[in-house]
Amino acid sequence: MAIKPVLREELLNSQSMLADYERELAALPKGSMVRKSINGHAYYYIVLRDSGRVKFIYKGRSSKEELASYRKAKDLRAKYRRNISRLKRQIRFLKGVLRGKEEL
């Protein structure tokens, strides 16, 4: 059949894209920057999960650039996770179509 080579190529492309997105996701800074107001003063913390627990790491005063970079990282992280999820579904489908018996 002429379609199987095309599907195999699409599977390889999807797996390559998945690896790229996972690498990019790992390169992003962990956690999110949050602002807490205590007694009328603003304090900035990085919030992240560590071994299933939420940790707050005090950052002190932060520049607008640093806040913007964490905001951008948060948006990118959500985008990458959506794409990873979509690619995993696509890979599962393609393997099913190819019967998953063939080694690539």
Q: Which structure tokens are listed for 50?
A: 């560590």
Asked if the model's pLDDT at residue 34 lies above 60, the reply is yes
Mean pLDDT throughout 48-55?
Answer: 91
Domains of the chain: 3-97 (1.10.287)
pTM: 0.77
Residue for token digits 């948006």? 75
Alpha-carbon span 93 to 20, nearest angstrom: 20
- What confidence score (pLDDT) does residue 37 get? 87
Q: How confident is the model at residue 101 (pLDDT cuts 50, 70, 90)?
A: low
CA 41, distance to chain mean position in Å, is: 33
